[in-house]
């Protein structure tokens, strides 16, 4: 993942093949690989991640349909990083994925979804304050402390 991180620093657009490599790392069954891929993705998003918005949405949608909670959480994590970048994602699809994450059976997935709302507000997407307050309200009253924390950690 080091090479991909350096490519992002040089503002080289991420090819479909490179994107697939990072995504495979994010959804890997080994937590060390997931951590390395997520760290690389963080670095790449901090340095202007450039990827096709359609590929982002397709990958996150696919991950949200997976039975593994780590994969669903990783997909949402990727969505959060994509929101920090310069790419423009379709607002309604982003909101639908976050809302799906908000209603997930797993606490970690719900926490990650809650934390993304802050990134939506800071992104170029137009979200109403009512939508934001609704999300924070539901997260702050969740039965899981992780989700309540996520509501304020975006």
pTM of this prediction exceeds 0.75:
no
Q: Which tokens sit at 44?
A: 């790449």
The per-residue pLDDT for range 11-47, each reduced to its tens digit, is 666 666 766 777 778 777 777 887 788 777 766 766 6
| Spatial separation of the C-alpha atoms in residues 119 and 22, rounded to whole Å | 21
Task: Report in angstroms the alpha-carbon separations of 91 from 35, 84, 131.
Answer: 28, 14, 12
As a whole-number percent, the residues of the chain with pLDDT over 90 amount to 11
Residue 16's Cα: distance from chain center in Å?
18
List, for residues 40-69, the tens digit of each pLDDT value. 776 676 666 666 788 788 888 988 998 888
């Amino acid at each position: 993942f080091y090479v991909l991180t350096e490519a992002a620093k040089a503002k080289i657009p991420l090819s479909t093949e490179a994107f697939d490599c990072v995504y495979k790392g994010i959804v890997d069954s080994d937590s060390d690989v997931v951590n390395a891929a997520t760290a690389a993705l963080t670095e790449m998003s901090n340095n202007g991640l450039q990827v096709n918005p359609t590929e982002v949405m397709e990958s996150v949608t696919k991950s949200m349909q997976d039975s593994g909670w780590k994969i669903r959480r990783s997909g949402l994590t990727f969505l959060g990083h994509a929101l920090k970048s310069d790419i423009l994602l379709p607002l309604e699809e982003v909101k639908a994925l976050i809302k799906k994450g908000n209603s997930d059976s797993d606490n970690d997935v719900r926490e990650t979804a809650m934390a993304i709302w802050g990134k939506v507000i800071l992104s170029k997407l137009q979200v109403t304050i009512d939508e934001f307050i609704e999300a924070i309200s539901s997260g702050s009253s969740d039965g899981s402390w992780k989700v309540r924390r996520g509501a304020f950690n975006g």
